[in-house]
Amino acid sequence: MSDPVNHPKHYTQHPSGVECIQITEHMGFNLGNAVKYIWRADLKNDAIEDLKKARWYIEREMQKREREALT
């Protein structure tokens, strides 16, 4: 039975059999979200949209690190 809140079907459809959260919980927020969108891009309706979301989080992380490097 599918559980759309705790265990949505697309969370476990990756060919590796690994759930994305098992990887991303060891990363910071921005990088974890970028990996999440890349990981599941082909498992949902719009891969291009998910890749754009991943890019947004990567750019946000780069801006954060650039600001930190200046201080």
Split at pLDDT 50, 70, 90, the class of 28 is: very high
pLDDT for res 1: 63
- Looking at the structure of the chain, the number of domains it has is 1
DSSP secondary structure, 1-69, as one string: --BTTTB-GGGG-STT---THHHHTTS-HHHHHHHHHHHTGGGSS-HHHHHHHHHHHHHHHHHHHHHHH
61 pLDDT above the threshold of 90: yes
20 pLDDT above the threshold of 80: yes
Q: Which residue segment(s) compose the domain that 60 sits in? A: 9-70
| Domain-embedded: residue 36 | yes
| Domain-embedded: residue 17 | yes
Mean pLDDT of the chain: 89
